[in-house]
Structure 1
Amino acid sequence: MAMGRMAAGGPHQRSMNFVGSGKRLLARFGPERATVCGMLLTVLLSVALSVAGPMILGRATDLVFAGVVGRDMPEGVDRERILDRMREEGRDDTAEMLSGADFTPGRGIDFTAVGKMLLLALAVFAVAGLLMAVATRLVNRAVNRTVYRLREDVQAKLSRLPLSYFDRRQRGEVLSRSGNDIDNIGQTLQQTMGQLANSLLTVVGVLAMMFWISPLLALVALVTVPLSFAVAKGVGRRSQPQFVRQWKSTGELNAHIEEMYTGHSLVKVFGRQEESARAFAEHNDALYEASFRAQFAGGIMQPLMFCVSNLNYVLVAVVGGLRVASGTLSIGDVQAFVQYSRQFSMPLSQIASMANLVQSGVASAERVFELLDAEEQEPDPVPGARPQERLGRVVLEKVCFRYSEDRPLIEDLSLTVEPGRTVAVVGPTGAGKTTLVNLLMRFYEVTGGRIVLDGVDVARMSRDDLRSNIGMVLQDAWLFGGTIAENIAYGAHREVTREEIEEAARAAHADRFVRTLPNGYDTVLDDEGSGISAGEKQLVTIARAFLSDPAVLVLDEATSSVDTRTELLVQRAMARLAHGRTSFVIAHRLSTVRDADTILVMEDGSIVEQGRHEELLAAGGAYARLYRAQFARAVAEVD
């Protein structure tokens, strides 16, 4: 488990840079420029047709109204004479209202013309809907490709990050950024990108039509726009920090769940179920509180915008009615304008209601960008140097290393290991044994001195070339979901046959237990290696290292999970397979290093003793003290 490993004050706790992260997210659509332009063009045509629809319906309304008015008037009388007669009779208001209607006295409703208008409106709305469906398809294509590339970039970034990055962070937090946050970005873009373009273009188109019909009514409709922006800005400013907290809490909860699931056996063994449950409840409560605040702050936007929209509707209806009464506008124009006012308010409400989604997506985008901006390991030299021969000669020249500037761990360490020799590294916990191997593998870079493999400074080699020469077996056996044969073959840098896999398993003494499994080498394991013991998992990883046929073999407590009998078998196999290879064996159990050509005793990052087993025992120094501490009781029993 990795409890408590993440440093406080991490980058995810910085304030949200909404504008910068939003621009950076949009910039990632650069490769989809053609698709986005096609989407915008399609949306523009769809909006243009949708905006034309109310005007067509307004004309149909005018035809109906003109027919209703004209059918009750005497046929053959001039329209203007009828209006003058109304004024003479004192019906000035009625005359002014009818002056805006294009009626013909004695003629009723022209249903043919009305039908044509309605069919035209139906066709316009149908084509607009079809174009919007095409635009949605283009949006999905652009978003999915962009998120696909974002996932690729995150995966590539994870492979370039140094080991120190993962040491300082919980795995669940990193997984949340590369999983949940990217999913949230994709969902946000899917739900808002096309709708946002449609809403903005609709606002522009509708506003143009409103000014064309009646500049006065258009200005009345615009009165509520500043209020809408004030509401959106105020709510957005308060809700954005809540979305940042929501996704931060999501990462912390995922990290806790991942830790507890990985170490569930230890949690039960030490009776920490209640403590784990309390910690989960705290993280869950924090996520609930942050999510509730974020969703409430974002959700209140739409009701407020709906109130503003209704205010706009009332103002337009009142002023429009007065304009109809004065004969300045026709009823059809006012009807179209009322529809436009709704079309004008609806996009504003939609934009406001999308604010919570956009803020949530940008909050996730910043977390992903923080991962992408993390400091990478030093790039490989191009071209990388390669040893002329794979001998396995390792030289450490005054190597220095420290995890932090004020705490040196290894100082001026020099060592020469000839090809084919077995070097054991022993010492108390924290002496720097595993760090030495990490430096050899370039998981960490030396802060002073250099490491030379077969005459080439490892810093001048590409990491792939360096690590292809080194086989490594760690104390913690790692298996992936797949068959045992696939897990063993994972160590090879080429295609291998089943015979080669089985030969490696026999060399590691894994063949015996594998054949006792129901499906032998085709037995499927999950990523936890369920179904086989810890020692058997270790044998599989040792077989994997043998199959890689490295020049240098590193065993970091590789036999710690193997029983005593199997440990002896593995040691014999190692002695046989180590011929021609340089071997580094890191061990706490000194029984595993008696036959090493050289034993290095480390304390506080320095080599305090080196020699063979018998020589070091006779010297009576640090190695002898370690040996007596482990075997004094056993020797007494044998005597």
Structure 2
Amino acid sequence: MALATIVPLPLIFIAWSFAFSNNKSEMKKYHTAMENMNNTIVEYVRGMSVIKIFNLTVQSFTRFQSTVYAFRDCCNDWTERSITPWAVFIALLGSPLLFILPVGVWLYLSGQLQLPVFILFLIVGVAYMKPIYQLVFVSGTLAQITEGISRIDAILERKSLPEPANPKFPENYSIEFQDVDFAYDKTQVIYDVNFKIDEGKIFALVGPSGSGKTTIANLTARLWDIEKGRILIGGINIKDIPLDYLMDKMALVFQDVFIFSDTVLENIRMGRENMTEKEVIAAAKAANIHDFIKNELPAGYDTLIGEAGVHLSGGEKQRISLARAILKDAPIVILDEATAFADPENEVKIQEAFSELLKNKTVLIIAHRLSTITDSDQIMVLDEGKIVEMGTHNKLLKNMQLYSEMWESHNSAKKWTFKSTKIEGDVI
């Protein structure tokens, strides 16, 4: 009777193995298709106003629809490949009685099996399949968890920047690039860059979009490591400086400011939890954002801002970021288009905040608005990842070509205005 009860088990596990033979690869395809669909849905919803304004509703919906159909097709293909062995598996789960009944009846009629024992095996034959059925669903959940973990591990297991075996600490905060090359994957963006910023000096980077300015700023902060050359802080290779120490000595203000879903106080105090509220307010005043926080935000410094709270304008975000940098009081300051999204009123306030932030600091400024960097101690002009010109503002205007063209374009842009145009009697 026991043998008759377990006869379906080998058949069940064979059907199970066929049904889930490609489970790992299929799960990867499933998650990839679902990820693409979810990304497109979020983009479609968030970009709805732009889609409508440019009359791209049909095209955008078609792209959104295609990812939904791709996810549907992935699910359908997986189902079609596994439906037959899965159906056999489900049928076999209910089949033990087909083996137990004839054997049990034969043994009972021949007097070799008592009725209570026969009934026991009938009950066991139905009941012992339930844990196997539950095990199948556990294995499916486990496959999803395993795929999710593998995607997280792919991020967590990326090699971090190596810490120095024999750490060194700079005695001053000058910045120097020596024969630096850098490439994103296989696309080289920086070629043989050499320059030096003396401690306490203001150094400006200018050039056309895509010339490598932001890359140089990121390399200075060692957000990536270079393949060739050396970057020195106070004469010490940044690879020999502990990362925590290096980050502690730098304040970065990017053009795209990230605001956390937290209070204004905690956004300014980020990374400086030991700072008091009084010190945070002093930094906010220096950044010209204190009056706005106290008078315009509903709960002042306790107002929740970011994704889940009050949304700020570009200029207000940048002044929050400046307050962070002022509170950090690092000896090296990197400004990457720090007035890019500011309106004229906010730009004036940001420029006033700069005077507080840049006192006695080594400063690297990236700017498209050339009028903001005319007083820099040195200006370097980049083009296609190479240094093409270097000098003071007046020297570059007199002796160089690209900077002069950029300066002329900058002044022309300031004079540009809208003009009415007549078309067939209408004024536009």
- So what's the TM-score if we normalise by structure 1? 0.60
Amino acid in the other structure paired with 1:564: P
Listed as ranges, the gaps of 5+ residues in structure 1 are 1-216
Tell whether 2:276 aligns with 1:497. yes
Instruction: Compute the displacement of 1:354 (Å).
Output: 4.5
CA distance in 2, matches of 1:556, 1:359: 44
Conserved in 2, the CA contact under 8 Å of 1:313 and 1:341? yes
Separation in 2, partners of 1:506, 1:349: 66
1:231 is matched with 15
Separation in structure 2 between the aligned mates of residue 338 and residue 327 of structure 1, nearest angstrom:
17
More displaced, 267-276 or 615-624? 267-276
Task: Decide which of 616, 620, 626 is 2:406's aligned counterpart.
Answer: 626
One-letter identity of the residue aligned with 1:525: I
Do 1:239 and 1:298's aligned partners in 2 also have CA atoms closer than 8 Å? no
Indicate the residue corresponding to 2:287 in structure 1: 508
1:377: which partner in 2? 160
1:111-190 → structure 2 map (5 Å cutoff)? none
CA shift, 1:530, in A, is 4.2
Task: Return closer, same or farther for 1:370/1:561 CA change in 2, 3 Å cut-off.
Answer: closer
**What per-residue deviation string (whole Å, max 9, x for no partner) do you get for residues 104-140 of structure 1?**
xxxxxxxxxxxxxxxxxxxxxxxxxxxxxxxxxxxxx
Q: Is the 1:508–1:542 contact (alpha carbons within 8 Å) kept by the matching residues of 2?
A: yes
Aligned position for 2:173: 392
The equivalent of 2:232 in structure 1 is 452
Deviation at 1:608, TM superposition (A): 1.4
Q: 2:222 aligns with which of 442, 462, 467?
A: 442
Cα deviation for residue 424 of structure 1 reads: 0.8
Which is worse superposed, 376-385 or 459-468? Answer: 376-385
- Report the CA distance between 1:262 and its aligned residue: 5.5
Distance 1:536 1:349, change over 3 A: closer
Distance in 2, matches of 1:626 and 1:510, equals 32
Whichever residue aligns with residue 415 of structure 1, its letter is F
Match of 1:208 in 2: none
Q: Deviations over 1:346-374 (max 9, x none)?
A: 4444444555444434443443443444x
Output the CA distance in 2 between the equivalents of 1:515 and 1:350: 59
Q: Structure 1 residues 344, 452: CA separation in 2 closer, same or farther (over 3 Å shift)?
A: same
- 5+ residue gaps, structure 2: 418-428
The 5-angstrom pairing of residues 66-105 of structure 1 reads none
Q: Who is 1:585 aligned against?
A: 365
**Matching residue of 2:261:** 481
Q: Contact 1:422–1:583 (CA<8 Å) still a contact in 2?
A: yes
Q: Are 2:172 and 1:403 equivalent residues in the alignment?
A: no
- Residue in 2 that maps onto 1:201: none
What is the alpha-carbon distance in structure 2 between the residues aligned to residue 411 and residue 362 of structure 1? 43
Describe the superposition over 1:128-168 as per-residue Cα deviations: whole angstroms up to 9, x where unpaired. xxxxxxxxxxxxxxxxxxxxxxxxxxxxxxxxxxxxxxxxx
Q: Secondary structure at the match of 2:21?
A: helix
Deviation at 1:313, TM superposition (A): 0.9
Q: Percent identity?
A: 28
Is the radius of gyration larger for structure 1 or structure 2? Answer: 1
Alignment of 1:452-601 (within 5 A): 452-490=232-270, 492-517=271-296, 518-527=298-307, 530-601=310-381
Question: Taking structure 1 as reference, are residues 553 and 379 closer, same or farther at Cα in structure 2, changes over 3 Å only?
Answer: same
Distance 2:384 2:370 in 1: 19
User: Match of 2:144?
Assistant: 360
Q: Secondary structure at the match of 2:20?
A: helix
Alignment coverage as a number of residue pairs: 416
The structure where strand makes up a greater share of residues is 2
Task: Using structure 2 for the length normalisation, give the TM-score.
Answer: 0.87
How far apart, CA to CA, are the structure 1 residues paired with 2:47 and 2:284? 29
Query: Taking structure 1 as reference, are residues 243 and 293 closer, same or farther at Cα in structure 2, changes over 3 Å only?
Result: farther
* Range that drifts further, 269-278 or 316-325: 269-278
Do residues 279 (structure 1) and 63 (structure 2) align? Answer: yes
**AA matched with 2:289:** A
**What SS does the corresponding residue of 1:487 show, helix, strand or coil?**
helix
Residue pair 1:479, 1:528 contacting (<8 A) in 2 also: no
Cα distance, 1:552 vs structure 2 = 0.8
Cα contact 1:602–1:608 (8 A) shared by 2 = yes
Q: Separation in 1 of the partners of 2:361 and 2:379?
A: 17
Q: CA deviation at 1:494?
A: 4.5
In the TM superposition, residue 529 of structure 1 has moved relative to its aligned partner by 6.8
